[in-house]
Structure 1
Amino acid sequence: MQTYTRDGLTFDVTDSGPADGEVVVLLHGFPEDRQAWDKLTPKLVEAGYRVLAPDQRGYSPGATPKGRTSYGLHELGKDVVALLDAAGVEQAHIVGHDWGGAVAWQLAGRHADRVRTVTVLSTPHPAAMAWAFAHSDQWRKSGYMVFFQLPFMPERAVLRQIPGLYTKTGMPAEDAAKYAERFRTPQSLTGPLGWYRSMPASGAMLKAMRGRGKSASPPSSDGAPRPSRKVQVPTTYIWGSRDFALGRAAAEKTGEFIAGDYEFVEIPGAGHWLPEANADEVAEALLRRVRG
């Protein structure tokens, strides 16, 4: 399959590997696209897995709705469920990096019946992230999220920083060049920034980011309080010790929100761009997880 649809939106997807293999879904982050997995996919295919890597909402040209509420995590998670339905798959191994990791946590918590295992790169469990806002310097690391709420200006600011935005924080130059080609206009960044603009629907997230958050978990994307639920599916969390955006406090706290089979993999010296810069280490941990 090359595309699939949901609610009038058309998503581009790369479908690799044997049609009868266990399915691994790869969810990219910001500002990336399905090319993030180009180094990892061949390793999974060689191991016998079918790999589905979509350009997610806001990234696929046919799936860029207007309005910040269109980019809430509940919608992003349902997009992946629709992908599984279109592929005829009851359950899949879910892998996510950065914002794709947030979607992976959403699926593991809210659609666990469709998730065989979950592997998250860089992004801590949302309850651990909320805790870190109030108990560490994470709110400083995440301060850019407040700026991203503004109209128009963030698109131009991010565009001016590409490709240095990537290379200065550890991404290989050849990968940075691909994304510089992908995001060439302010308009190409509006959909991706919609994910950030969906966040502070109730203002609670902004409060937490100022270091005054009290709750153990952030609000849902529609502003309603979200109960702290422990993830029940087998889980691996992979974190780079030099991640510029996501600190150690939330990384180490994540395990408290996982019930049962859990592995925390710290890659010493690695930064944020794990799929591009640390594909071998990621593949090793991921294959260990999906093989059980």
Structure 2
Amino acid sequence: MIASNPPLRRVDAGELSVGYYDLGSPSDEPVVLLHGFPYDVHSYTDVVPLLVEAGFRVLVPHLRGHGPTRFLDEHADRSGQQAALGADLLAFLDALDLEEPVLAGYDWGGRAACVVAALWPDRISGLVSVNGYLIQDIAAAQNPIRPDLEAGFWYFWYFATERGRRGLESHRREIAEVIWRRNSPEWSFTGDDLARAAHAFDNPDYVDVVIHSYRHRLGLAPGSPRYAGLEQRLAAAPGIRVPTITLDGMADGNFPATDGSQHAHLFTGPREHRQIAHAGHHLPAEAPHAFAEAIFDVAEPPGDGAGTP
């Protein structure tokens, strides 16, 4: 995933055998970087060296349904709901005995990080989240939003149909490319960038997890009974009290940048909101220095002279 070509590691965590990368010294302050959909761990190719050089231990897991991550039980629900993503992340922290890491992510990964920050704040030291507070209000899933924003979510509704399921099965890379271009109109990615990420979509659980994720968030599919209790807690929109920096890309094609005020009441601890020029939804890849700087600023200083890129 980066120039040093680190070995892929594996750990059994909760429902999953998680494939992940672990860079930097094990004694350094840990940071967990979490990718979104339809992306993969390569979102952080340019962020990781900045963090390692600054004295952090950096862990980058493949989310459920992506890359080498696999379910331990072949009969387990292939859920993509927010509670599952949060539970996966907590299990990953437990399995590696990570003490108070910083969590940083966007899209699905940012949502997982927000879930853990809200429900288990004592387990982490800080949060960086693109697009703010990402815990979903499933009860309000059928409430319409502005038509121009609905248009950008075409794939939500596409995946709600059987035609969309078959389309994702047959055109994983092509659908990702359309989403990438709309999400990040100023990002000049290459065919190699897309091909590298698309390997993660060959996971045998990818389609099931993705389809369930979008159907559940629209209120069109029930959640897994395994996560019913967590979803009940998330329905209350729990506040996030850990130190947080939220980011909005000024060139995000689907999630227009805001001043962060609409989520302010949901952050009950120290929180700063930043707008990043010329960055779209895939912010860590488009503005790696700004993303790394947010991690430096939310983290406890990891050592003498560290904490700046």
Please indicate the TM-score interval, normalised by the length of the shorter structure: 0.7 to 0.9
Deviation at 1:147, TM superposition (A): 1.1
Does the alignment pair 1:51 with 2:58?
A: yes
Do the aligned residues in 2 keep the contact of 1:104 with 1:118 (CA within 8 Å)? yes
Please, which moves more after superposition, 266-275 or 48-57? 266-275
Tell me what 1:213 maps to. none
Q: 2:192 is matched with which residue: 140, 165, 177? A: 177
Tell me what 1:194 maps to. 209
Aligned residues between the structures: 279
The amino acid of 2:198's aligned partner reads F
Tell me what 2:4 maps to. none
CA distance in 2 between counterparts of 1:272 and 1:101 reads 12
Tell me what 1:100 maps to. 109
Do the aligned residues in 2 keep the contact of 1:155 with 1:186 (CA within 8 Å)? no
Alignment gaps of 5+ in structure 1: 207-218
Instruction: Note the alpha carbon deviations across 1:179-222, whole angstroms, 9 max, x for none.
Output: 3244269754851662452354486479xxxxxxxxxxxx9986
Does the alignment pair 1:152 with 2:166?
A: yes
Larger relative contact order, structure 1 or 2 (CA cutoff 8 Å, min sep 6): 2
Do the aligned residues in 1 keep the contact of 2:82 with 2:136 (CA within 8 Å)? no
Tell me what 1:17 maps to. 24
CA distance in 2 between counterparts of 1:2 and 1:11 reads 8
TM-score by length of 1: 0.80
Tell me what 1:73 maps to. 82
Tell me what 1:86 maps to. 95
Do the aligned residues in 2 keep the contact of 1:12 with 1:60 (CA within 8 Å)? yes
Instruction: Note the alpha carbon deviations across 1:54-100, whole angstroms, 9 max, x for none.
Output: 01110133415677653222222222222222222232100111111
Aligned-residue Cα RMSD (Å) equals 3.4
Deviation at 1:119, TM superposition (A): 0.5
Deviation at 1:243, TM superposition (A): 0.8
Q: Percent identity?
A: 24
Tell me what 1:141 maps to. 152
Do the aligned residues in 2 keep the contact of 1:26 with 1:52 (CA within 8 Å)? yes
Do the aligned residues in 2 keep the contact of 1:200 with 1:221 (CA within 8 Å)? no
Deviation at 1:178, TM superposition (A): 3.3
Q: From the superposition, tell whether residues 189 and 178 of structure 1 become closer, same or farther in structure 2 (CA, over 3 Å).
A: farther
Please, which moves more after superposition, 243-252 or 74-83? 243-252
Does the alignment pair 1:42 with 2:56?
A: no
TM-score by length of 2: 0.76
Alignment gaps of 5+ in structure 2: 1-7, 222-227, 302-309
Equivalent residues in 2 for 1:247-266 (5 A)?
Answer: 247-248=256-257, 251-266=260-275
The amino acid of 2:157's aligned partner reads V
The amino acid of 2:298's aligned partner reads R
Do the aligned residues in 2 keep the contact of 1:69 with 1:198 (CA within 8 Å)? no
Deviation at 1:156, TM superposition (A): 3.0
Deviation at 1:153, TM superposition (A): 1.9
